[in-house]
Amino acid sequence: MTTVFWILAALFAVAALAFVLPALAHGRGKAGATDEAANLAIYRDQLRELDADLAAGTLAREQHDEARRDLERRMLEDLRAGQAAAPAQDTKRHGTAIAIGVAVPLLAALLYFAVGNPRAISSPAGDDSQNVTREQIEGMVGRLATRMKENPEDLKGWVMLGRSYAVLDRYPEAAEAYANAVKRSPPDAQLLADYADAMAMAEGRKLLGEPERLIAQALKIDPDNVKALLLAGTVAFEKHDFKAAAAHWERILKLVPPDSDLAVSVRDGIDDAQKLAGTKPKSPPGKAAPAGVSGTIRLDPAIAAKAAPGDSVFIFARAVSGPRVPLAVTRKRVTDLPAAFTLDDSMAMSPAARLSDHAQVVIGARVSKSGNPVAQPGDLEGLSAPVDARASGVTVVVDREIPAGK
């Protein structure tokens, strides 16, 4: 088989995996090419800030040179750490992750055999067939949809069609495909959770109502279904039942590898839910709580239409005055909003600029259309008023568009 097939198969596999691990899975991941690129972009932003401060006369040459060397050293250390971490992480895969890793490429292959032509992938060398576009992928999905009209009892076909539509952000069609799959399937917790997610996205990210009923049904079938537990916790959080939200998410920690990105994000969510519920254990007497700001990021409905579900959301803390270098940064996606967050010294970009070095900070959230953490015209942003560096329950509303020329 030629490269075209493997490009398509890999694309669907990666997209499907991203869909299976929603919402809280996009926490403060420190591995992978995407996060590495984001970190490098933030380092470049910090270097530009230093140069600007030097040019403006607010930073002495010696201070500038020392801070620049520190940033460059930090960047190299992060790159080496990322390269060293990859082999170690491969040895810690959970059985469920292995099953998903096998099943998703298989499903991508099923889509190929359902709508493709095995002979069509053998193309002459030097043609343009390897320039795969979204339009071509949508064409493949369209052919699968046509086949499903001719073979409406094909359960696996409906499931693949639902996942494919969801990857393309076509949630109404995804929900309809999942509905057809549910009608033809024995009780299946994962299918019901996927159906609930697609339905909620199609209805403006509203989990209450029918999606909530489907989530409850999924958990009756399989109380340990991770996606259903994620969604159930989100439902409870939106209802301000923070104890129930924490309980759902705590169950997830027993099911996933403790050092996975999902586990890290779930622990952040549990921390915020416990604080809001008033059940978070307090620091021992005489010992100050470590610096760390937590709260919720929301998107103003007035500008929600300007944000795409897959857009990156960079959440950061910066000093109230002085250089705008981020003191801590984490990242989520628009599909996660409203989202709980926690920022602390473990997310510092430089030892010379840490959250714990400041009594008060400003919390910001930026929806990046390009995936670049550096502000661009057309990005959406929201900022808090100055808050204590140990504050909890902070709410930041993304409510303005960055205009051209800023």
pLDDT digits (tens, 9 = 90+) for 21-30: 444 444 444 3
Say whether both 103 and 237 belong to one domain. Answer: yes
SS3 25: helix
- Residue 147 main-chain phi, psi, to 5 deg: -65, -35
> What confidence tier does 342 reach under pLDDT thresholds 50, 70, 90?
very high
Residue 343, domain member (yes or no): yes
pLDDT of 33 above 60: no
pLDDT at residue 374 in the model: 79
Last residue in a domain, options 252, 277, 302: 277
Distance CA 309, CA 334 (A): 5
Residues 38-66, mean pLDDT to the nearest whole number: 63
Confidence at residue 114, expressed as pLDDT on a 0 to 100 scale: 44
What is the per-residue pLDDT across 212-233, written as a single tens digit (0 to 9) for each? 999 999 999 999 999 999 999 9
255 in the same domain as 113 = yes
pLDDT at 137 over 80: no
Please give the residue range of the domain that contains residue 323.
Answer: 292-401
In sequence order, the 6+-apart residues with CB closer than 8 A to the CB of 245 are: 233, 234, 236, 237, 269, 273
Tell me: do 253 and 381 sit in the same domain: no
Q: Look at residue 231 in the predicted model and tell me its pLDDT.
A: 94
Report the distance separating Cα 27 and Cα 264, nearest Å.
Answer: 7
The answer as to whether 58 is a domain residue is no
Look at residue 47 in the predicted model and tell me its pLDDT.
67
pTM: 0.44
The reply to whether 65 falls in a domain is no
Residue 140 is part of a domain; what is its CATH number?
1.25.40.10
In terms of domains, do 185 and 268 share one?
Answer: yes
Predicted pLDDT at 249: 93
pLDDT value, residue 74: 60
Residues 299, 260 share a domain? no
Tell me the three state secondary structure of residue 379.
Answer: coil
Are 203 and 154 part of one and the same domain? yes
Q: Are 393 and 314 part of one and the same domain?
A: yes
Q: Which pLDDT does position 83 carry in this prediction?
A: 45
Shared domain check, 250 and 111: yes
Specify if 312 maps to a domain.
yes
Residue 370's pLDDT is: 83
Q: Name the average pLDDT for the chain.
A: 75
Euclidean distance between CA atoms 403 and 62, whole angstroms: 35
Q: Residue 195's pLDDT band (boundaries 50, 70, 90)?
A: very high
Which of 42-51, 159-168, 360-369 is the most confident on average? 360-369
Flag whether 24 is in a domain.
no
pLDDT category of residue 68 using cuts at 50, 70 and 90: low
Which of 277, 300, 330 is where one domain is finished?
A: 277
pLDDT (average), residues 347-372? 85
Q: For position 64, what pLDDT does the model report?
A: 61
Cα separation, 400 vs 379, in Å, equals 9
pLDDT, position 107 = 46
Please check whether residues 327 and 268 belong to one and the same domain.
no
Using alpha carbons, list the distances in angstroms from residue 107 to 18, 136, 283.
14, 18, 48
- When divided into structural domains, the chain yields a total of 2
